[in-house]
Amino acid sequence: MAESSNIIPVPIEEEVKSSYLNYAMSVIVSRALPDVRDGLKPVHRRLLYAMDELGLRSNATTKKSARITGDAMGKYHPHGDQSLYDAL
């Protein structure tokens, strides 16, 4: 079998460390920190959008939090309900 010149051997420890650090920074920047434009995290923005789509206003009838969470999770937030309940 001919060797390929495109393969570069890398120690697994370095690759895992580098990959995890890149992933962790990506999560912190994109999900954990509020956006400077409106001060909302993505989970808050998704909840507000779902509530708007359900027609929830100050003068509308009340809805259970399970309805809001289920609607948001089903349509906009496929990561589980715990973060939605915490944000709600």
| 22 within a domain of the structure (yes/no) | yes
What's the structural domain count of the chain? 2
Mean pLDDT by 10 residues, the chain (88 residues): 76 92 89 88 92 92 92 88 91
pLDDT of residue 74: 92
Which range marks the domain in which residue 30 is found? 10-34
Q: Give the end-to-end CA distance of the chain in Å, rounded to a whole number.
A: 58
Return the percent helix, strand and coil in the chain, to nearest 5.
Answer: 55, 0, 45
pLDDT of residue 53: 94
C-alpha distances out from residue 38 to 34, 42, 44, Å: 8, 11, 11
DSSP letters along 30-44, please? IIISPPTTTS--HHH
Same domain for 81 and 53, yes or no, is: yes
pLDDT of residue 2: 59
Same domain for 49 and 79, yes or no, is: yes
